[in-house]
Homo-oligomer: A and B are copies of this chain.
Amino acid sequence: MSPDEARERFATARVARLATADAAGKPHVVPLVFALDDDTIYSAVDPKPKRTQDLKRLRNVAANPQVALLADHYVDDDWDVLWWVRADGVGRVLEASERAVELLRRRYAQYADAAPDGPVLAIEVRRWSGWHA
C-alpha cells in the first residue's frame, strides 16, 4: 500500500490504537480518538474521571518520543476485506492546543458538549504504511 493510500485510510478511521514505550523499552497500548491535520495526529486527554490514571501514554512520550499508531478494519467472517494502516512518528505532549481541540470537536460530537481541556498529544508522522488483503 502506498503511503498516500495509508494516510487516506487512516484519516477515515474513528478510532486508533497508540503504542508507546517507556525508557526501558516496555510497550504500552491504548485506544484513542484523534484528528489528523496534514501529517500531525492530535489526541487529547478526555474530560473524564479517568484522567488521573490515564497518563501513562504521556509519561512514555515524555521519556521516549517514538510512537506508532494503528488503524485497522477487521471483519470476522470475511478476511478478504481486512486492512490496517500504521503511522510511525514522534510524539510531543502539549499543555494545550486550540487547533487540536477545534479539530477534535469538529470530528466528534461528544467533544462539542464537553471539550477536552487536558494535555494534548501531537504526533508528527514520519512514515505511513499499511496492508490490505
Contacts and interface: CB of A to CB of B under 8 A. Distances in A.
Contact of A110 (B21, B26, B54, B79): B79
Interface stretch (A4-12, A36-44, A68-76, A94-102): A68-76
A68 B27 contact: yes
A21 B14 contact: no
B66 A29 contact: no
A66 B20 CA distance: 12
Copies of the protein in its oligomer: 2
Contact of A29 (B15, B69, B74, B109): B69
Nearest to A114: B79
A95 to B, nearest CB: 24
A24 B27 CA distance: 12
Contacts of A59: none
B14 A76 contact: yes
A28 B25 CA distance: 11
A23 interface: yes
B66 A31 contact: no
CB-based closest 3 A-B pairs: A19-B19, A25-B25, A19-B29
